[in-house]
C-alpha cells in the first residue's frame, strides 16, 4: 500500500491567541504559525499535509473552527498550539464538541532565547511555555484524549511524532466508515474471534456484514477465462513458480479465479476488509489462501476463521503504514523453539500471510492443506527479513476492548525449511519469550495478531488513545 492512500487526508493547524494583544502581535502570531506549517509541509517527513487555519481569538472563532473540523471529511485531526496565552474558558464549548483527534503541539516559533536582545515585546509574543499549560489544564479537565508533543517544531523528533499521529488519525477516520465483509461465520467453537459487532461499531466506527459463501461464489463464477489467464501471467511476473504440472496449474488458475471474484465482490460492496473460514467453503474448490495474501498486499484487512476484529485492525494498521518500509500482515503464533537461551516463535498461518513482509521473491506453490477437506490450495511461500516489529491484537471481554502490543525482533530461521510449504516468520518477543508470552496470555491476547515490521509502538499508543481502548504494552 503506497503513501498516496493518505493524500486525501489533512491535518488542520490551529493557533490559539486572544484579542487583547493588539494587531501587531496578532500579525506576528499569524506570520509565525504560517511559517511553522510551511516548514512542516516542506520537510517531506509528514505523510499528511497540514492546512493553516486563521488564528482563533474568541469563543465564537474557536467553536466555529472546531465545528468545521468535525464536518470536513478530509480533516483527519487538528493540531492545536497556543503561541500566546489563550484563556482556556474560551475553548470549553468548542472542545466539548470536537470529534476529531487532537495533537497538542507545545512548541515555539523561535528555538533559542535571544539572551542579549530579549525584551518584554518578545516575552508577550512567545508564551507557549505557559499558554499551552493553560490549554492543557482544560483538556485534561474535560477528559479529552489527545497526544501532547513538546519540542521545537523544526526537529526530526517532533516531525516524526506528528507524522505518526497523522497517519493514525487518517486510519481512525477510515475506520469510521470501514465495512468488513464476514464471508461465512466463525470457526465453530472458537472463542476469541467472536465478539459484539454492535459494541465494535460504537467503539471503532466500522460495520461488520455477514455473507453466505454463495454471495461470493456468484462473483467468482462470473470471472472469464481471459481474466484468469491475464492474472496468471501477472503471477508468473511477480513470483517464482517452481512446479507447473497440469494439476498445479489447474489449482493456480482456480486461485486466480477466486482472487478476481472476491476482489470484485469487495469492491462492489465497498468493503476494505474481509474474513473467510475453512468451515464455510461450500462451493469453493479450495481455501482462498492466495487471494487473501494478495488482497492483503493491496491494503485489504483480512482475518481467518471469521476473525473480523483482526481483519479490521489489519486494515487500520495497513493505512497507518502506507508508504513506510516493511509490511503489515495477518499472523498467528504457530509453534515454539525452546532451545535454552535461544527461545523464539515461528509465526505463520495455514496460508494467509501477507507478502508485504516477504524477503525476496515469493514462491507460488500448491500443496495439500491437511484440513478442511478441499482441493490443494495455491499459496505464496516466503520468509521475512530480520528487524524490529510489533505484534498487535484487539480482544473483547464483553464490556470492553483491549489492545495488546508486543515489541519483537524478527530473526532469520536457524536453517532452511524445505518441508514447510507456507509463508513464515521467526521472532523473539520482548523482553524474551518466557516473559512476553506470559504477559500476552495473561492479558488475554489472541492467537491471531497483526504483525507489523512497518510500525512501532508509538502508532499503537496513539491509536489506543484515539479509540479510547485499554492498551497493554509488552516490551
Interface with Mn ion by CB under 5 A: which residues? 304, 332
- The least CB distance from residue 53 to Mn ion, in Å, is 46
Tell me how many degrees the CA angle 192-194-196 measures, rounded to the nearest 5.
125
**Residues contacting residue 394 through CB under 8 Å, at least 6 positions apart:** 309, 310, 312, 313, 401, 402, 403, 446, 469
Note every long-range contact of 199-205, with CB atoms under 8 Å and residues 24 or more positions apart, other chains counting.
199/396, 199/401, 200/308, 200/309, 200/312, 200/396, 200/401, 203/401, 203/467, 203/468, 203/469, 204/175, 204/178, 204/312, 204/467, 205/175, 205/176, 205/177, 205/178
Q: Closer to Mn ion at the Cβ: 308 or 459?
A: 308
Beta bridge partners of 451: 329, 391
- The least CB distance from residue 404 to Mn ion, in Å, is 17
Q: Closer to Mn ion at the Cβ: 300 or 330?
A: 330
- The least CB distance from residue 325 to Mn ion, in Å, is 27
Three-state secondary structure call for residue 51: strand
- The least CB distance from residue 189 to Mn ion, in Å, is 13
Helix, strand, coil share (%) of the chain residues, nearest 5: 40, 20, 35
Q: Closer to Mn ion at the Cβ: 63 or 277?
A: 277
Exposed/middle/buried for 452, CB within 10 Å: 0-12, 13-18, 19+? buried
Q: Closer to Mn ion at the Cβ: 132 or 352?
A: 352
Helix 213-221 × helix 246-269 angle, to 10°: 110
DSSP string, 389-444: EEEEEEEE-SS-EEEEEEEEEEE--SS--TT--S-EEEEEESS-HHHHHHHHHHTT
- The least CB distance from residue 106 to Mn ion, in Å, is 44
Q: Closer to Mn ion at the Cβ: 171 or 281?
A: 281
- The least CB distance from residue 305 to Mn ion, in Å, is 5
Q: Closer to Mn ion at the Cβ: 332 or 461?
A: 332
- The least CB distance from residue 350 to Mn ion, in Å, is 7
- The least CB distance from residue 285 to Mn ion, in Å, is 21
Q: Closer to Mn ion at the Cβ: 108 or 406?
A: 406
> Closest Cα partner for 351 from 374, 318, 323, 320?
374
Cβ-based neighbour number of residue 106 at 10 Å: 19
Cell 486572544 sits on residue: 18
Q: Closer to Mn ion at the Cβ: 11 or 304?
A: 304
**Residues contacting residue 234 through CB under 8 Å, at least 6 positions apart:** none
- The least CB distance from residue 415 to Mn ion, in Å, is 25
- The least CB distance from residue 443 to Mn ion, in Å, is 19
Q: Closer to Mn ion at the Cβ: 79 or 304?
A: 304
Q: Closer to Mn ion at the Cβ: 304 or 328?
A: 304
Going from the C-alpha of 56 to that of each of 198, 271, 314, the distances in angstroms are: 38, 39, 38
Amino acid at each position: 500500500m503506497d503513501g498516496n492512500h493518505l493524500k486525501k487526508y489533512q491535518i488542520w493547524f490551529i493557533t490559539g491567541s486572544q484579542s487583547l494583544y493588539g494587531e501587531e502581535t496578532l500579525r506576528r502570531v499569524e506570520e509565525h504559525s504560517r511559517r511553522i506549517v510551511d516548514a512542516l509541509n516542506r520537510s517531506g517527513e509528514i505523510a499528511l499535509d497540514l492546512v493553516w487555519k486563521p488564528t482563533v481569538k474568541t469563543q465564537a472563532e474557536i467553536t466555529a473552527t472546531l465545528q468545521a473540523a468535525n464536518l470536513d471529511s478530509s480533516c483527519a485531526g487538528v493540531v492545536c498550539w497556543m503561541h500566546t496565552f489563550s484563556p482556556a474558558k474560551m475553548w470549553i464549548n468548542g472542545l466539548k464538541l470536537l470529534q476529531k483527534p487532537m495533537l497538542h503541539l507545545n512548541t515555539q516559533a523561535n528555538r533559542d532565547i535571544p539572551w542579549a536582545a530579549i525584551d518584554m515585546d518578545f516575552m508577550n509574543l512567545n508564551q507557549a511555555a505557559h499558554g499551552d499549560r493553560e490549554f492543557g489544564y482544560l483538556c485534561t479537565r474535560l477528559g479529552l484524549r489527545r497526544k501532547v508533543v513538546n519540542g521545537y517544531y523544526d526537529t526530526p523528533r517532533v516531525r516524526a511524532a506528528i507524522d505518526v499521529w497523522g497517519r493514525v488519525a487518517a486510519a481512525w477516520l477510515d475506520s469510521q466508515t470501514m465495512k468488513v465483509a464476514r464471508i461465512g461465520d466463525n470457526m465453530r467453537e472458537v472463542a476469541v474471534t467472536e465478539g459484539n459487532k454492535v459494541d465494535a461499531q460504537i467503539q471503532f466506527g466500522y460495520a461488520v456484514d455477514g455473507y453466505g459463501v454463495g454471495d461470493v461464489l456468484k462473483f467468482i463464477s462470473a470471472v472469464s477465462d481471459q481474466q484468469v489467464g491475464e492474472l496468471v501471467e501477472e503471477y508468473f511476473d511477480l513470483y517464482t513458480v517452481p512446479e507447473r504440472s497440469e494439476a498445479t496449474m489447474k489449482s493456480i488458475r482456480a486461485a486466480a479465479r477466486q482472487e478476481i471474484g472476491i476482489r470484485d465482490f469487495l469492491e462492489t460492496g465497498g468493503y476494505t476488509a474481509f474474513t473467510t473460514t475453512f468451515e464455510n467453503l461450500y462451493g469453493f474448490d479450495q481455501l482462498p489462501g492466495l487471494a487473501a495474501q494478495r488482497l492483503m498486499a493491496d491494503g485489504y484487512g483480512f482475518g481467518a476463521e471469521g476473525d473480523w476484529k483482526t481483519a479490521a485492525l489489519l486494515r487500520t494498521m495497513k493505512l497507518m503504514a502506507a508508504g513506510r518500509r516493511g509490511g503489515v500482515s495477518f499472523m498467528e503464533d504457530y509453534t515454539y523453539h525452546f532451545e535454552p537461551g535461544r527461545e523464539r516463535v515461528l509465526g505463520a498461518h495455514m496460508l494467509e500471510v501477507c507478502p508485504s513482509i516477504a524477503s525476496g521473491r515469493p514462491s507460488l506453490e500448491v500443496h495439500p492443506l491437511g484440513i478442511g477437506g478441499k482441493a490443494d490450495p495455491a499459496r505464496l511461500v516466503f520468509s521475512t527479513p530480520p528487524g524490529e516489529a510489533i505484534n498487535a491484537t484487539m480482544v473483547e471481554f464483553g464490556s470492553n476492548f483491549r489492545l495488546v502490543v508486543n515489541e519483537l525482533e524478527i530473526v532469520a530461521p536457524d536453517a532452511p525449511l524445505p518441508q514447510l510449504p507456507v509463508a513464515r516468520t521467526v521472532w523473539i518477543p520482548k523482553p524474551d519469550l518466557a516473559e512476553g508470552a506470559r504477559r500476552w496470555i495473561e492479558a488475554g491476547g489472541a492467537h491471531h495478531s497483526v504483525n507489523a515490521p512497518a510500525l512501532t509502538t508509538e502508532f499503537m499508543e496513539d491509536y489506543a488513545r484515539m479509540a479510547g481502548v485499554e492498551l497493554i504494552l509488552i516490551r
